[in-house]
Amino acid sequence: MATITFKGTSITTVGSLPNVGDQAPDFSLTNNSVQDISMADFAGKRVILNIFPSIDTGICAMSARHFNGVASGLDNTIVMNVSKDLPFAQKRFCGAEGLENVQNASEFKNTGFSSNYAVIMNEGPLAGLFSRAIVVIDEAGKVIYTEQVPEIVQEPDYDAALASLK
């Protein structure tokens, strides 16, 4: 269980992110075309999982914009925004913002991602949604970086996440 804060108030998650060096847990998520996707769909590619509560909040939107800005310069790397938002909301947001270098994934149909990555918040006003976290996975499917952002209204450490790819 991770202890984080929401505007200074302590809350917990259901568990801890996968450990660096571990095989990335599998998942089944839904993309913008309402098709299921899994880790197998990204075999041989590096994956940045940009995990957050909702695309329709300020910090989540900023992280999606930031990663979109750097994604086109990353070789063999997929940046995926992951939340419980409906695929339609994710697609609408990225379309309105012109975000074409990131992919979106929703847990609205399957719950394996939140179980395997332990990112559900247990309490507080956002209980049941994902915490803000980054998980970077290499071409072999190994976790090479994780960040459980300590304060929900704080942006992740983009530089550290991107440095893990070098």
Q: Which of the following is catalytic: 48, 49, 60, 134? A: 60
Mean pLDDT of the 101-117 span? 91
* Burial (CB count within 10 angstroms: exposed 0-12, middle 13-18, buried 19+), residue 73: exposed
Q: What is the mean pLDDT of the chain?
A: 93
The answer to whether residue 94 is catalytic is no
SS3 of 122, please?
Answer: coil
Predicted pLDDT at 18: 97
pLDDT digit string (tens) for 28-80?
999 999 999 999 999 999 999 999 999 988 888 889 989 888 888 899 999 99
pTM: 0.94
| CATH, domain range 3-163 | 3.40.30.10
**Alpha carbon of 22 to those of 3, 19, 89, 122: distances in Å?**
22, 6, 32, 25
CA distance 14 to 19: 15
β-strand partners of 137: 47, 143
CA distance 29 to 20: 22
Q: Domain boundaries in the chain?
A: 3-163
Predicted pLDDT at 32: 93
Predicted pLDDT at 1: 87
